Structure 1
Amino acid sequence: MSYDLAVWDGARPLDDEQAGSVYDELCARHLESDEAAAPPTPAVVAYVEALLRRYPDDIDGDTVWASPPVMDEASGPIVYLVMSYRAAQEVLDHAASLAREHGLVCYDPQVARLRA
């Protein structure tokens, strides 16, 4: 069982509904497309690197990530984080806070809401 979170580089949507629309468009364009994944933007790379300093994605060891390596889940302006459900609350809070520090948008698709 996993918990997912999307973080992207772009203007903060006005509300949860607009965020859901932006999320759907980014997923279709960058994560679900048959075309090759685009390199992540510098802001997304910096965010993922900072996140991994606290929660490494060592595939041979214990990790909070359900699908390491995390950078493989980044394409263009978006990264789709898939974490184990057991670690979700701790990781969610830190991931959202870190996104805010990096000027990124953090969206929780499970509840269709922007995170702080």
Structure 2
Amino acid sequence: MSYDLAVWEGDRPANDRAASQILSGLYDRYLDGEAGEPASERIATYVSTLLERWRDITEDEEETSPWAIGPLIDSASGPLIYFGMSWSMAEEASAYSAALAKSLGLVCFDVQQNRLRP
């Protein structure tokens, strides 16, 4: 089991309910089909910056990566990434991931709590 976040391009939704609806539409469009799109430039930048902090789980010989699956970029399609992290590192990794999303002008949504991350 993993702790999941969704990060996407767009204006910050007015509230958690609106964010959940937007995520549902983006997920259906970009991740639920068989043919995904390459990650957008901003999402690719987001992923590469995450991987500067913690290496991809596919390259992690010391087992220090928080990412649940890899390559991490495979969790992205178009303007959306939906990714998991291990529970043991979720607090630190999700806080960093949310702060990074904010700094890049991206929306970050906590899937477990069904709420926007500040």
TM-score class, shorter-chain normalisation, is: over 0.9
Partner of 1:115: 117
Partner of 1:5: 5
Q: Secondary structure at the match of 1:94?
A: helix
> What is the 5 A alignment of 1:30-49?
30-34=30-34, 36-49=35-48
Q: Secondary structure at the match of 1:59?
A: helix
Q: How far off its partner does 1:58 sit?
A: 3.9
Q: 1:39 and 1:68 mapped to 2: Cα distance?
A: 15
Q: 2:45 and 2:13 mapped to 1: Cα distance?
A: 21
Q: How far off its partner does 1:64 sit?
A: 1.1
Runs of 4+ residues over 4 Å off in structure 1: none
Q: How many corresponding residue pairs?
A: 115
Structure 2 gaps, min length 5 = none
1:16 partnered with 2:6 = no
Q: How far off its partner does 1:84 sit?
A: 0.6
Structure 1 gaps, min length 5 = none
Q: Which TM-score applies when normalising by structure 1?
A: 0.95
Kindly provide the CA deviation profile for residues 20-46 of structure 1, in whole angstroms up to 9, marking residues without a partner as x: 000101111111113x11111111001
Q: 1:80 and 1:57 mapped to 2: Cα distance?
A: 15
Q: How far off its partner does 1:55 sit?
A: 1.3
Partner of 2:56: 57
Partner of 1:68: 70
Whether contact under 8 Å (2:57, 2:68) holds in the other structure is no
1:27 partnered with 2:20 = no
Percent pairwise identity:
43
Q: 2:29 and 2:57 mapped to 1: Cα distance?
A: 29
